[in-house]
Amino acid sequence: YSQAYLLRTRLGWTGELRALGDVLRDQLSHMRQCGFDAFAVRADRSAEDALKGLAGMSVLYGRSAIEPRPLFRRRSAGEAP
């Protein structure tokens, strides 16, 4: 997670960051917030089920690699959560 976040935010990497190995559904949303944009789900896991993990969080309070502004900054700019 840390390496993906640093690659995106400090080093400006815009290429693909793929998570390999035991990629679990409950981790996908957090991985996406850290900067991963591709996931290789194990063969014994359901890719369709894993995709449901990307919709895990409806509101993000803190900043992330894909949304650098915290929630209070987004709200003050007139955006709905």
State the DSSP H helix or E strand holding residue 79, giving kind and residue range, or none if neither: none
Give the per-residue pLDDT at 7: 93
Q: pLDDT tens, 5-22?
A: 999 999 999 999 998 888
60, 65, 66, 70: CA torsion to nearest 10: 40
Least confident of 9-13, 53-57, 62-66: 53-57
Is the Cβ–Cβ distance between 23 and 55 less than 8 Å? no
